[in-house]
Structure formats: C-alpha cells, structure tokens
Amino acid sequence: MKDFLPAGRPVLLLAPMQDVTDLPFMRVMERRGGPDVYVTEYFRVYATSRLDPYILRSVTENPTAKPVFAQLIGQDIPALLRTVAELEKHPVAGIDLNLGCPAPVVCRKDAGGGLLRNPEKVDRLLGALREAVQGRFTVKTRVGFDSPAEFDKLLDVFARHAIDSLAIHGRTVKERYQTPVHPAPIRRAVERLSCPVIANGNVVDVATAEALLDRTRAAGLMLGRGAIRNPWLFDQIRAATGGLHRAPRPCGRDLLGYIEDLWEETAREQRKTYRPDKQVQKMKRYLAYITQGLDPEFDRRILRAREADEFFAICREFLDHEAPVGALPPEESKRFCGFAELLA
C-alpha cells in the first residue's frame, strides 16, 4: 500500500460494501472523482466456493485505471489459499482479508468480524495468507468484537505479520454502525505498526474527515456510506488536504444527475431481468443515504415510491435546482462526528 500513498495528502479508499461497491458503482464514483484505491465486495470463501464472476468483473473490467484490491471473507485456510491463487491470476492490486463484517449470519460462521473473538485463529490465518499472497496483502478490521479493550491483543497479532496495510473501522462488531467511533485504538495502531494504517468510520463530510485524521494520524481514510451520500466527497477531502486547488460544490441538479447515473448503470447490468418496479426498490438502498440532511419530506415520499415515473418525479421535485447540496447541516455533521468526546 505504501506505493499508493499520494505525496502530501492522505490516501483515500472506497470501502467494500456488499451489494453496493460493484462495477456499476465504481463507474459512477469515478466520474465524480472517485477514491485513490478501490476494494471489491467480499468474495465468500469456503470449501466448495468458486470466484463470484460478477464480483470478479470489478477487477477484470476495472473502468477506473486505479488499483482494485480483492477482498476475501472466510475462515477455511485451505480454501482461502486456493482463492488467493485463483485471484492472483487476474490484475488485482492486492488481496484484502475482511475481519470486520458485523452481519450476524457472517459472525455465526466465525468469519468477518466473528473471527475477532479468536485472536489465535486470526494469527494462523494471517500467517498462512501472508506466506501465500505473492503481492500486496492488506487487512480490514474492527477494534474488537465486544469491546475496544480487546484491540491491544489484536494489535499484537497484526504486528507479527508483514501486512501491507491495516484499515480499521473504529467500532466493535457489536456496535455495528450505530455508535460513535473510537479513535484511540486507531492511533495506537498508527504508533506501533510499520505499515500504513487507514481510518474508517463516520467520515461523512470534510469536517469529519479532518477530525478523524487529526485524532488518529492515519495515513488515509476509507469512506463508505458517506461516499454513497456524496460521491464528490473524495475530491472535497483532496481539496481540503492539499490534493486539489478547488473543492467541488455540487448543486441539486448535480445530485439528480448522480441518481440518474446510478439508475442507468445498475439497470444496464440487469439486462433481461430488468424491471422498473424492482429497480425502484434497488435505488431506495442508495437513497436511504443520499437523502440524509435534505428535506425530510423527500425522504418520506421516496420511500413510498413504487414506479419509475413516480420515483423520478419526486427526485426532480426536490433536486431540480442550482442551490448547493452535499455537506451535512452542522448539527447533523456534529452528530456523526461523535467520537470527539471519547478522547482522553
């Protein structure tokens, strides 16, 4: 990962979000600046698994000319090693191991965040994967399963292996996405590890990005739901941290164009199975984040939309204007930037 660090500013990554960060989403993000590094949705790995051809297209048809890491989730070491060998036949920038997914169905299988309950198993996994991966090997984790107090033991494990980067979501697995993030464990990782540490969690605007960087001294940021809401956020952070001279200031029509672009790109992938009513339901997953901080009536009505014409009529009613949008209102940003009070 060190070779991807930009001079004079933090490296920016798009978080791997299942059923979101696919090839169409990458195309849409890149048209609006995009991150420096992409990470795929996770490949599920088990004894009889094979590479998911749809997720693999994010690597083989990469439309961005930027590095794409392939993320794996699983706990079967032989299956993980087989999958690594298969993936490294393709133009992956590196292999990333998911130790952070909080989904109960994943944790029950002792995969993703569930592995954090067993540091000894994590140790064995990292050792086997580091030996097998020929290129870059990175890890995405949380600060513990039940409590951030678990992180120091996990940090001992990470320090024993020559991983190329550690991305840390600053919540425990049990905290999922609802609580403030814990910056102190990320800061300890920065101070101890020789590899770049990437901070993740609650980056929803420039203010929260700068605050998390200031409190952790991380080499970069990983953006997830904040990037769904505001795809210009990568360039806005670059402008604030010295990578661009001018920050984009999107207006309502820009946001409307983004929604239309998402619709077109995701619909194009469905080919013969495309149905406008099903596409409306798919788009609501994005709009749940995009409408945050906008008119509450927009959010209420879009959730009730059933047909394509109705969906776009509502979007045009609230977004067909040139007034700036993008940044959360100060009270909303402060709510998301809730980690400040956790600092000693």
| C-alpha span between 218 and 16 (Å, rounded) | 19
DSSP state of 64: S
Q: How many residues are recorded in the chain?
A: 344
Residues 101, 107, 195, 315: which is the catalytic one?
Answer: 101
Residue ranges of E strands in the chain:
11-14, 37-44, 68-73, 94-99, 136-142, 165-169, 197-200, 220-223
The token duo for 185 is 């464990």
Residues in contact with 75: Cβ distance below 8 Å, sequence separation at least 6, in sequence order: 109, 110, 111, 114, 115, 121, 125
Specify whether 107 is catalytic.
no
Distances (CA, A) of 186 to 152, 158, 201, 246: 11, 13, 11, 30
| C-alpha span between 111 and 140 (Å, rounded) | 13
Neighbours of 167 (CB within 10 A): 28
C-beta of residue 71 within 8 angstroms of C-beta of residue 43: yes
In the three-class reduction of DSSP (H, G, I as helix; E, B as strand; rest coil), residue 286 is classed as: helix
Catalytic residues, by residue number, are: 101
